[in-house]
Amino acid sequence: MTKPRVLFIDDDPALCRLAQMHLERGGYAVEIASDGAGGIARIVQGGIDVVALDHYMPNLDGMETLAAICALADPPPVIYVTALQEARIAVAALKAGAADYVAKTAHGEFFELLCRAIDDAMESVHLRRAKDTAEAESLRNWHLTQSIVDTIRDPLVVLEYDMTIVMASQAFLKMFGITEAEARGRRLSELGQHQWDVPALGRLMEKVLPDDTSIEGFEIEDDFPGLGRRVFNLNARKISRPGNHIHRLLLVFEDITDRKQRERDAETLTNEISHRIKNNLQLVVGLIAFESRSASAPCVPGYRAMQARIGAIAELYDLISHASDGDAIALDAYLGKIAEVMTASLLGPDSGIMIEVEAAPLTIDPTRAVPFGLLVNELATNAVKHAFPDGKGRIVLSVREIAGQVELTVADDGVGIVEKTATKTEKRGFDYVAIFVRQLGGVVSTPAQTPGSMRGTTVCIRFPLLVAPPEHTLPAAA
C-alpha cells in the first residue's frame, strides 16, 4: 500500500521538524501547518490523506480546528495529539470526530505510536470506502433489478430463506392491490385472504433453497379479491450472486386462467361431440340388430360381429365423453365396456361363455384406443366362435405394464388352436388383427402353455406405453 501524505498541524516549529524527520524516514510524505487556519486551507486544496492535529494552538485551538475539518466534504481522518495527562480532552476529540489520539511525549515512542495510528486510520478509510463502493454498487444493482422486474408482465417476488418478501414486481403489487412497503417483510402465505397458504406449495418452496431444487408448473386455483376466479402457474428456483453466501428464491406467477378456460371449453366440446358420436353409433348397432333378426341364418354371425365392432367403438366414445382428462382413456374401464357389449351382442344372457377383465390401471391415448378396442373385439370374437364347441368356457381380457410397454392378453380355456384350412372370413379376421397391431406399433405372440395357465389359446400383444397417468391440479386451501 502507498504511504499516505500527512499534514502535521502544530505551532511548535521544533516538534514539527522532528515529526517531519521521523515520518519521512518511515516513508510518509509530510507537510507542516503552524496553525489551524493554515491547516484547514491546505486540506481544502486537496491531496492530504491524514491529519495529525495538536490541541494547544493560538487562535483556533485543536477542538475548533477539528470541528472545521469534520465539516468539510469528505474530510481526511484526524489523529488528535494531546498531552499524556489529558485523557479527558482525548475522549472529547474522539466524540467530536477524531479517528484516533496519540499522547505527546518527548521520547521516541510518540512517533512510533503516531505512525501506527496513521496506518490504522488509513486502513479504516480504505475499508470504509470499499464498503461505500460495495453499498453503492449493491444499490445500483437493486435499482437495475427492480427495473428489470417491473418490465416483466407476469407477477413475481423474491423471497428470503424464511419466505418473507424482499422484492415484488409492480405486476405483483397491482395483483394484490398493495404497496411495496406493505409487501416487503411479509410472508407470501399472509397476503390476500391466505390463498397462497397451501401446505403442498409450502413444502415444495421450503426445499428449493436447501436442496437446490426448482418448482415447475405448480397450479393453484382460487378466488382472489379484485380478480375473481383465477388459475396461476407457479415456477420457483434459487437465485444467488457470485461471491455472496446469501441465497434467495425467485417465484413467478403465470396467470393461465384464459388458457385453462380454453382447455376446458375444448374438453367440453370434445365430450359433447363424443357423446353424439356414441349415440349415432348405438343407433347403427340397433339397426344392425334389427336387420339380423330377419336375416338368413348364415348371415347372422356376420351381423353380430359387425354389431360388436361398432359397439366397441361406441363404448370408446362413451368413455371419452365422461372422461375428466380428454387426453387419456382408462384401459380397465374400456375393457369392461367392450366385455359388456360383446356379451350382449354375441352371447346373450343365457350363454355358458363368460368374458372377464383383469386390468391394471393403465391409460392410452384416444388415437390408439380405436385400434386397441377393435383388436380386443376381433380376438375375443374369434374365441367365442371357435374355442367353445360345447358352448361353455371363459375368456379373459387383461392388460399390464411390462418394461415400459403395455401387454394386452386375450386368453381362453377352450379347445386351443386346431390345424385346419382357414375360411375366407377367418383369413379376413387375421388380416384385421395384423392391421390393428401395426396401428398400435406392437408385436403379437402366442406363448406356450405353462403349469397353472389357462388351457386353450392365449394371444399377447405388446405395444409402447406413451401416455402416463394424468397429474391433477392441487386444490387451494379453504
Indicate the pairing of strand 458-464 with strand 443-445.
antiparallel
- 259-269 average pLDDT score: 80
Quick: pLDDT tens for 343-382: 887 787 788 999 999 999 998 887 888 888 888 888 988 8
| Half-sphere CA count of 175, side-chain side, radius 13 A | 26
- 200-211 average pLDDT score: 75
CATH number at residue 429: 3.30.565.10
Per-residue b/e over 187-219, b at no fewer than 16 CB within 10 Å?
ebbebbeebbbbeebbebbeebbeeeeebeebb
In a domain, 144, yes or no: no
CATH number at residue 214: 3.30.450.20
Range of the domain at 437: 260-464
Let me know whether 443 and 314 are in one domain.
yes
211 — pLDDT class (breaks 50, 70, 90):
confident
Quick: pLDDT tens for 124-153: 988 888 888 887 887 777 666 666 666 677
Q: Please tell me which residue, 329 or 396, carries the higher pLDDT value.
A: 396
Determine the pLDDT at residue 469. Answer: 43
Q: What angle do CA 211, 212, 216 make, to 5 degrees?
A: 110
Let me know whether 94 and 178 are in one domain.
no
Relative orientation angle of helices 300-322 and 366-386, to the nearest 10 degrees: 150
Residue type, 219: E
Let me know whether 316 and 407 are in one domain.
yes
Residue 64 phi, psi (nearest 5): -70, -40
Determine the pLDDT at residue 473. Answer: 40
In a domain, 15, yes or no: yes
Q: Please tell me which residue, 263 or 65, carries the higher pLDDT value.
A: 65
Cell of 268: 367440453
Quick: pLDDT tens for 34-59: 999 999 999 999 999 999 999 988 88
Distance separating alpha carbons of residues 214 and 205, to the nearest angstrom = 8
Domain count, the chain: 3
Let me know whether 250 and 285 are in one domain.
no
Distance separating alpha carbons of residues 123 and 117, to the nearest angstrom = 10
Let me know whether 268 and 384 are in one domain.
yes
Whether the Cβ atoms of residue 353 and residue 388 lie closer than 8 Å to each other: yes
Let me know whether 424 and 347 are in one domain.
yes
Determine the pLDDT at residue 8. Answer: 94
In a domain, 326, yes or no: yes
In a domain, 139, yes or no: no
Let me know whether 266 and 223 are in one domain.
no
Determine the pLDDT at residue 130. Answer: 85
Let me know whether 351 and 371 are in one domain.
yes
Determine the pLDDT at residue 243. Answer: 54
User: Residue 157: CB partners within 8 Å, gap ≥ 6?
Assistant: 165, 166, 167, 168, 169, 172, 183, 188, 250, 251
Strand, coil or helix: what is 112? helix
Quick: pLDDT tens for 60-110: 899 999 999 999 988 999 999 987 667 888 889 999 999 998 988 756 688
- 234-245 average pLDDT score: 72
Q: Say which range, 9-18, 26-35, 211-220, has the weakest mean pLDDT.
A: 211-220
In a domain, 476, yes or no: no
In a domain, 147, yes or no: no
Give the other-Cβ count within 10 Å of 99's Cβ: 20
Quick: pLDDT tens for 418-442: 665 455 555 666 788 888 899 889 9
In a domain, 247, yes or no: yes
Let me know whether 82 and 195 are in one domain.
no
Strand, coil or helix: what is 252? strand
Let me know whether 395 and 453 are in one domain.
yes
Quick: pLDDT tens for 158-192: 888 788 888 888 888 887 788 888 888 888 788 77
Q: Please tell me which residue, 378 or 239, carries the higher pLDDT value.
A: 378
**Per-residue pLDDT at 114 exceeds 70:** yes
Let me know whether 451 and 385 are in one domain.
yes
452 — pLDDT class (breaks 50, 70, 90):
low
CATH number at residue 66: 3.40.50.2300
Quick: pLDDT tens for 307-325: 777 877 777 677 666 655 5
Let me know whether 277 and 401 are in one domain.
yes
Residue with grid cell 371419452, as numbered in its chain:
320
Q: What is the mean pLDDT of the chain?
A: 81
Residue type, 423: T
**Per-residue pLDDT at 23 exceeds 50:** yes
- Show which of 255, 283, 301 is a domain's final residue: 255
Determine the pLDDT at residue 128. Answer: 86
In a domain, 138, yes or no: no
Percentage of the residues of the chain whose pLDDT score is greater than 90: 23
